[in-house]
Amino acid sequence: MSSKETHKKLAIFTLVVHKKKDGQYYGYAPYVSEMNMWTSHFDEVIVVGPLSSSTNLEKIDLNYSHGNLSLVEVPVFHIKSFLGVLKLVASLPGMFFKMYKVMRKADYFHFRCPSNVSAVAAVVQIFFPKKPKSTKYAGNWDPNSNQPIGYRFQKRLLANRLLTKNMKVLVYGEWPNQSKSVVPFMSATYRDNEKLTFQKRDYTQRLKFVFIGAMVVGKRPLLTVKIIEALRLQGFDAELHMFGDGDLMDEVKQYVEDNQLSDAIEIYGNRNKETVKDCIQDAHFTILPSKSEGWPKAIAEGMFFGAIPVSTRISCLPWILNEGERGILISDELDEAVDLISTELRKGNEYLNAMAEKSLNWAQQYTLDRLEQEIEKVVTSN
């Protein structure tokens, strides 16, 4: 029996802000691209999420491909201020009622976590114990990490088999002592036919680093720039290519200009998948010293083509890098990070190429083709 015969109507609960243009709904491309794999198994789709008043599409926007998709709008809210808490309290009854109505109609629920929207939906779903559900937890599932109370609430409620029935919680990495509802999962960017055989690099020549991530505090773009600057001061001929946009873009650009790094650091802003792919195919390293990650998409993309990952020891990254066998795990302190990288660089071509090949072999297990198969298993087994 196919999944469409089993589950006809899918309800998605997400914080992704959508835009509507010419009858189509658009959202953040990496999210929508994966959601198109989920929606392909259903006859009808209801998305519960925020809707922007803007119809101006950006390079990072992509439309849902499903022909029978509607959106139920819920407000965007933040609870970092007293005013934000008041807005949340005022919005809750309406959100609860909207979500309850959608869940009554739907045959299958899918939550995108962590988010404020999914936190409310996680409470509402308690009233529908018989309906099958899945959660894609895109954040850090590490049970020992210090996280906001809202994140901890969602994790505990969704994994609680007494309150949450018929649920698969899909998480990045393998963690001990978890509920039977918690299932290790993966993500991907490239297809099987995009795999390339490993090509050795020369690490004695100019070193190409690539940063792919939002220019926000959590991704630490300025620390990335300072690491490259420090390596150059130590005598390493290093260059950095930065992809992404965000609040810190101007600050990073100003630092590069003030410290005369423009000949070594290129800042591109948001670019499409093909442009990024072209840049990382001959890169020596991908670097992302972020504060928190779910599935480190940028790191996995570089590894897919043999770029050695350089990352902080957060979330599932120690597992992905196999505790340093497939990449360089650094401190979030500048001097310590630079010392760790420079120590690895001095180990020579043979050592570094072996590490790069291991990273490529690991990453090429996780393709969009395999992701489609894994999503189908989740949908059809519930």
| Count of structural domains, the chain | 2
Asked if the model's pLDDT at residue 80 lies above 70, the reply is no
What number is the average pLDDT over the span 145-169? 90
Residues 82 and 207 in one domain: no
Residue 5 has what pLDDT? 47
What number is the average pLDDT over the span 183-205? 93
**Better-predicted residue by pLDDT, 295 or 264:** 264
Residues 19 and 161 in one domain: yes
Read off the pLDDT band of 79 (50, 70, 90). Answer: low
One DSSP character per residue, 350-365 reads HHHHHHHHHHHHHHTT
Residues 216 and 121 in one domain: no
Residue 1 has what pLDDT? 39
Largest CA distance in the chain: 64
Helices (H), 166-268: 221-233, 249-258
Domain hosting 84: range is: 3-188+368-381
Residues facing 265 on adjacent strands:
240
Residue 219 has what pLDDT? 93
What's the CA gap between 7 and 251, in Å, rounded?
Answer: 49
Q: What is the dihedral of CA 363, 364, 369, 374, to 10 degrees?
A: -50
Asked if the model's pLDDT at residue 82 lies above 70, the reply is no
Residues 224 and 281 in one domain: yes
Residues 209 and 110 in one domain: no
Sole residue written with tokens 């901890």? 152
Residue 135 and residue 110 in contact, taking contact as beta carbons nearer than 8 Å: yes
Mean model confidence pLDDT for the chain = 92
Who contacts 313 (Cβ-Cβ below 8 Å, separation ≥6)?
329, 330, 331
Single-letter amino acid code for the residue at 77: F
348-370: burial string, b at 16+ Cβ within 10 Å, e else: eeeebbebbbbbbebbbebbbee
Length of the chain, in residues: 382
What number is the average pLDDT over the span 52-66? 92
Who contacts 304 (Cβ-Cβ below 8 Å, separation ≥6)?
189, 190, 194, 195, 360, 363, 364
Residues 324 and 295 in one domain: yes
Q: What is the pLDDT of residues 316-337, one digit of tens each?
A: 889 899 999 999 999 989 999 9
What's the CA gap between 263 and 283, in Å, rounded?
Answer: 17
Report percent pLDDT > 70 for the chain.
96
Residues 204 and 261 in one domain: yes
Asked if the model's pLDDT at residue 33 lies above 90, the reply is yes
Report percent pLDDT > 90 for the chain.
76
Residues 165 and 280 in one domain: no
13-45: burial string, b at 16+ Cβ within 10 Å, e else: bbbbebbbeeeebbbbbebbbbbebbbbbbebb
Asked if the model's pLDDT at residue 4 lies above 60, the reply is no
Q: What is the dihedral of CA 210, 212, 218, 224, to 10 degrees?
A: 10
Residues 173 and 202 in one domain: no
What's the CA gap between 230 and 342, in Å, rounded?
Answer: 10
Shortest CA distance to 95 belongs to which of 10, 156, 15, 7? 15
Q: Where are the beta strands (DSSP E) in 152-225?
A: 167-172, 182-185, 207-212
Backbone region of residue 298 per phi and psi (left: phi > 0; alpha: psi in -120 to 50; beta: other values): alpha
Residues 264 and 170 in one domain: no
Residues 179 and 224 in one domain: no
What's the CA gap between 159 and 73, in Å, rounded?
Answer: 27
The CATH number given to whatever domain includes residue 89 is: 3.40.50.2000
Q: What is the pLDDT of residues 343-364, one digit of tens each?
A: 999 999 999 999 999 999 999 9
Residues 53 and 197 in one domain: no
